[in-house]
Amino acid sequence: MSITQTALMQQRRDTAANWTSANPTLLAGEIGIESDTNKIKIGTGSTAWTSLSYTTWSQITAYPFVNADIAAAAAIAYSKLATLTSGNILVGSSANVATSTAISGDITISNTGVTAIASGVIVNADINASAAISGSKIVAATTGVVGAVQLTDSFSSTSVTTAATPNAVKTAFDAATAAAVIGADALPKAGGTLTGNVILDNQVDARFREATANGTNYVGFQAPATIAADVLWTLPSVDGTSAQVLSTNGSGTLSWATAAGATVVDGGNFANGSSIVTTTITIDGGSFV
């Protein structure tokens, strides 16, 4: 015949405050549980409660402490973990063990979580081809600075930081060759004023055509092939009188003057058909028959 006896064992329990107030001395191996904190202490037989340390699981059982032993809502404080060096992070080691590791290389991290990239370490290869970095992140280009430049479609802009589009250049070209006046700096085909010297190089002509309805003939002026020195003629400021001619003073200044001419007086002996004509010619005050 067999007899089965069921035995129940109950440990001493009380609140942390009552344990501290009573401060009993537990028997050697006796377990005391704080009912409101679920912490335990194991007596030594000689040490009072307040002088005992709380007991760890390893002191109670040899059963390994695993993840399943921790309640999902345990919310264990980080202060219960081993110390971690300032600025270090936990990285799995070759033995698959979380290891405190200092960050090295181009990036640093502070103990407040602020990351930073070291100066001068980013190179072209680090930037993705499709990064599409905004122009506002790049220094603006000027005549003295290499950088990003904004395009403008205006052909009359005076900006020194923008560049003309091909369309703006084409518009400026078309406007410069158009028949309408487009600005003080452009010389249109129909009128316009030149404010500087006009140089016709390599003996080219200055030509003045006849009326279009009459053809394409012209009159013109041309420089000689060889000129010993520069020559400039200054025209007179007013018109001359009938039969006057342009006369130079030898220094390039032209003026109107009456030509020194010859007068013919009848009475000479020039042959005229069947008769004899006598004519006296007076030149500059002298005469001959």
Tokens of 106: 């181009």
Q: What is the pLDDT of residue 17?
A: 95
Rounded distance between C-alpha atoms, residue 92 and residue 100, angstroms: 9
Q: Tell me the mean pLDDT in the region 261-273.
A: 49
E strand intervals along the chain:
12-14, 31-34, 40-42, 88-92, 98-102, 107-109, 115-117, 150-152, 162-164, 206-209, 218-221, 244-248, 254-258, 262-272, 275-283, 286-288
Q: Which of 168-177, 182-191, 222-231 has the lowest mean pLDDT?
A: 182-191
If we measure between CA atoms, which residue out of 44, 2, 36, 1 comes closest to residue 19? Answer: 36
pLDDT at residue 261, as a whole number? 60
Res. 282 pLDDT band, cuts 50 70 90: low
Q: What 3-state class would DSSP assign to 50?
A: helix
Report the pLDDT value the prediction gives residue 63, as an integer from 0 to 100: 56
Per DSSP, 96 falls in state S
Check residue 56 and give its pLDDT.
60
Q: How far are the Cα atoms of 113, 123, 154, 159, 213 from residue 117, in angstroms, in the given order?
A: 13, 12, 41, 36, 80
Distance CA 136, CA 138 (A): 5
Residue of 153, 156, 147, 148 whose CA lies nearest to 165: 153
- Residue 261 gets which letter from DSSP? -
pLDDT of residue 181: 46
CA angle 23, 25, 28 (to 5 degrees): 150
pLDDT number for residue 182: 47
pLDDT of residue 188 exceeding 70, the answer is no
Beta bridge partners of 107: 117
Distances (CA, A) of 195 to 175, 185, 201, 219: 20, 10, 18, 25
Asked if the model's pLDDT at residue 267 lies above 80, the reply is: no
Predicted local distance difference test score (pLDDT) of residue 173? 78
What strands lie across the sheet with 31-34, from one edge to the other?
12-14, 31-34, 40-42
DSSP, collapsed to helix, strand or coil, labels residue 167 as helix
Residue 212 has pLDDT above 80, yes or no: yes
Q: Average the pLDDT over each of 89-93, 104-108, 160-164, 273-277 and give the range with the smallest value.
A: 273-277
pLDDT at residue 24 in the model: 95
pLDDT score of 155: 81
Per-residue confidence (pLDDT) for residue 49, from 0 to 100: 94
Average pLDDT for 132-146 = 85
> Where do runs of H (alpha helix) occur along the chain?
16-22, 57-60, 166-176
What's the chain's average pLDDT? 82
Residue percentage of the chain with pLDDT more than 90: 34
Give the model's confidence band at 283: pLDDT under 50 very low, under 70 low, under 90 confident, else very high. Answer: low
CA–CA–CA angle 25, 29, 31 (5° rounding): 70
- Quote the pTM value: 0.34
The answer to whether the CB of 102 falls within 8 A of the CB of 87 is: yes
Q: What is the mean pLDDT of residues 56-73?
A: 66
pLDDT band at residue 80 using 50, 70 and 90 as cut-offs: confident
Please enumerate in sequence order all residues whose Cβ is within 8 A of that of 85, keeping only pairs 6 or more positions apart, or say none: 100, 102
**Does residue 177 surpass a pLDDT of 90?**
no
Which residue shows structure tokens 């500059």?
Answer: 284
User: Assign residue 106 a region: left if phi > 0, alpha if psi is -120 to 50, beta otherwise?
Assistant: alpha
Q: Is 268 exposed, middle or buried (0-12, 13-18, 19+ CB in 10 A)?
A: middle
